[in-house]
Amino acid sequence: MDFERLLSKAIETGASDVHLQADSPPMFRLGNNIRLVEGPPLSEAEMEAIVKSIVPRHMADDDLATSALRGLDFSYASSSGTRFRCSGFRTRGRFGITMRVIRTVVPSIEALKLPKVIRDIALARRGLTLVTGTTGSGKSTTLAAMIDLINENYRTKIITIEDPIEYVHPCKKALVSQIEVGSDTSSFDQALRQALRQDPDVILVGELRDVETLRTVLRAADTGHQVFSTVHSANAAQTIERIIAMFPSNEHKLLLAQLANSIEAIISQRLITGRDEKRRPAVEVLRGGPVTARYILEGKIAELANYLQMGEAGMQSFDQHILGMYQAEEISGTEAMRFATNPEAMGMGMRGIKRTAGIG
């Protein structure tokens, strides 16, 4: 199999992911569907050779089979210059790999069809902004668009800490330093501590994986830095609850105070397939402010879901955004119901739109 030709085909067809594993033919993800690529199944030897040929040097020195038990996460640049985020694994004792296509050009907030408020959040120059969602929900791409907007508008210093680096940010108005865990540093926490000594204005931490990294992130936001990161959580309320759960109970009061003081926004995403078969984000947005801070301080996290539906400062719920996309005929009713937080209320909203339009 010509591996580089396969990657070129993935790019040409608009695939978002390439799936390879022994005893299976290559497959691409197009929209929400996995599609078979014509060709014979990959042999065990072919699959192992592919993995060994693309892992970074610091991983190649290790026993790959043992490392794959923990997961092999790295980036790879194809011969055409396109970058891929790679996740290597073992399946029935054999190698497999999933490769997410990273587009060379960082997409704009407008191109991603994100709400206009995302632009305001990016240019706020303060606070902690968390982008949340499941794996593959577009968190990294949204953050890349926000960092690129800052890079285009402000003469500032940006430090990103990623595992692995996905989008490459050339210096525009800003000075950008990108640090890769594993290649440039041993951990997120170590890199973040070092970054705070390097006169940053903006810091992006790829993921909040442990308590120590989170402590340092909150301290950075408290001391005037603009900080971005991601959390694997479904919505704003769950994000705060998950952060609180990471800490011992005797620290919760202090933690709530830090969060109340530092949160600029929590942006939660779900990718929905549109009528054009392209995926687009449905977004929930919670903004920081006096009311948000009060709810957090009082531990009334569940009430944030109702508050953000009031729409102040560009805030919105998932279902408000999804219903808006349905009304604009960007998505089908089936997709709207599939991704709705409250399907019953979504159904009522859709029927109201049809009545207003004189349909049905």
| pLDDT given at position 118 | 98
Alpha-carbon distance 84 to 3, whole Å? 13
Q: Where in the chain is the domain with CATH 3.30.450.90?
A: 3-102
Listed in sequence order, the DSSP H helices in the chain are 3-13, 44-54, 57-60, 64-70, 117-122, 139-153, 188-195, 211-222, 236-245, 252-262, 290-297, 304-308, 318-327, 333-339, 343-357
pLDDT beyond 90 at 71: no
DSSP classification of residue 23 = T
- Do 26 and 19 form a contact (C-beta atoms < 8 A)? yes
Q: List pLDDT tens digits, range 315-338.
A: 999 999 999 999 999 999 999 999
pLDDT beyond 80 at 209: yes
Alpha-carbon distance 151 to 172, whole Å? 6
| pLDDT given at position 70 | 64
Alpha-carbon distance 171 to 175, whole Å? 5
Q: What average pLDDT does the segment 78-103 reach?
A: 90
Alpha-carbon distance 205 to 254, whole Å? 22
Phi and psi dihedrals of 158, rounded to 5? -115, 130
- Do 321 and 283 form a contact (C-beta atoms < 8 A)? yes
Closest alpha carbon to 50 in 11, 13, 6, 91: 6
Quote the percentage of the chain above a pLDDT of 70. Answer: 96
3-state secondary structure of 151: helix
Sign of CA dihedral 80, 86, 92, 93: positive
Query: What average pLDDT is seen over the chain?
Result: 93
> pTM (2 decimals)?
0.87
Predicted confidence band at 277 (pLDDT cuts at 50, 70, 90)? Answer: confident
Beta bridge partners of 73: 87
Q: What average pLDDT does the segment 73-93 reach?
A: 90
Phi and psi dihedrals of 45, rounded to 5? -65, -40
| pLDDT given at position 65 | 61
| CATH class label, 117-316 | alpha beta
pLDDT beyond 80 at 358: no
The yes or no reply on domain 3-102 and CATH 3.30.450.90 is yes
3-state secondary structure of 274: coil
Q: Where in the chain is the domain with CATH 3.40.50.300?
A: 117-316
Predicted confidence band at 61 (pLDDT cuts at 50, 70, 90)? Answer: low
pLDDT beyond 60 at 69: no
What's the full length of the chain, in residues? 360
Q: What average pLDDT does the segment 9-28 reach?
A: 95
3-state secondary structure of 297: helix
